[in-house]
Amino acid sequence: MSSGDDKSNKVGCWITVVVLLLTFSPILVGLLYKGMFDKDKVNYGTAPVFGPRESGQLVARLDAAAKAQGVCYGWIIDSDRFGDVQKVTPSYPGTFSPQPNATPSPTPTRSARPTPTTRPTNRPTTRPTTRPTTRPTTRPTTRPTTRPTRTASPTPTPSGPSPTLAAELRGSGVEYGSNLGVDIAPWQRPEVCPKWAVLKAEYTWSSIEEEWTSADLDVETNFGGDIPSPEIRMDIYGSDLTGENGIARLADAIGGLPLLMASEGKAGPVPDAPAQAVPAGDTLPGRGAGFYIFLTIAIGLIVGGVAWIAVAAVRTRRGN
Partner 1 sequence: MKRALIGGGLLAGLGALILLIALFAGGSSPKGWISRTFPKTGPDTYRSADGPLRTAERIAAKHKPDDRVTDPTGVYLRYRSAIVGVRPAGAGSRITVDTPARGYARYHSSLGGRWGGPGGRASTFRGGGPGEGK
Q: Looking only at residues 128 through 167 of this chain, which bind partner 1 when binding is defined by CB under 8 A?
A: none
Instruction: Give least dist CB 272 to partner 1, A.
Output: 7
Instruction: Give least dist CB 154 to partner 1, A.
Output: 19
Instruction: Give least dist CB 222 to partner 1, A.
Output: 19
CA distance 113 to 267: 8
298 sits near partner 1 (criterion: CB under 8 A): yes
84 sits near partner 1 (criterion: CB under 8 A): no
Instruction: Give least dist CB 224 to partner 1, A.
Output: 16
Instruction: Give least dist CB 298 to partner 1, A.
Output: 4
Q: Are 159 and 166 in contact (CB under 8 A)?
A: no
Sole binder of partner 1 in the list 14, 24, 82, 294 (CB under 8 A): 294
- Residue number, 166 or 289, with CB nearest to partner 1: 289
The stretch among 117-125, 127-135, 148-156, 236-244 that binds partner 1 (CB under 8 A) is: 236-244
Sole binder of partner 1 in the list 160, 194, 238, 304 (CB under 8 A): 304
7 sits near partner 1 (criterion: CB under 8 A): no
25-44 residues near partner 1, rule: CB under 8 A: 42, 44
Q: Are 227 and 264 in contact (CB under 8 A)?
A: yes
- Residue number, 165 or 260, with CB nearest to partner 1: 260
- Residue number, 125 or 244, with CB nearest to partner 1: 244
Q: Which of 206, 169, 299, 195 is nearest to 257 (CA)?
A: 195
Q: How many CA atoms, within 13 angstroms, populate the side-chain half-sphere of residue 91? A: 5
- Identity of the amino acid at 85: V
244 sits near partner 1 (criterion: CB under 8 A): yes
Q: How many CA atoms, within 13 angstroms, populate the side-chain half-sphere of residue 143? A: 15
Sole binder of partner 1 in the list 234, 237, 239, 318 (CB under 8 A): 234
CA distance 79 to 85: 9
174 sits near partner 1 (criterion: CB under 8 A): no
β-bridge pairing 174-178 and 181-182: antiparallel
Q: What is Dmax (Cα atoms) for the chain?
A: 104
Q: Which of 127, 118, 201 is nearest to 160 (CA)?
A: 127
CA distance 157 to 137: 16
192-231 residues near partner 1, rule: CB under 8 A: 205, 210-212
Q: Are 163 and 139 in contact (CB under 8 A)?
A: yes
46-65 residues near partner 1, rule: CB under 8 A: 47-51, 53-54, 57, 61-62, 64-65
Backbone phi, then psi, for 290, in 5-degree steps? -60, -40
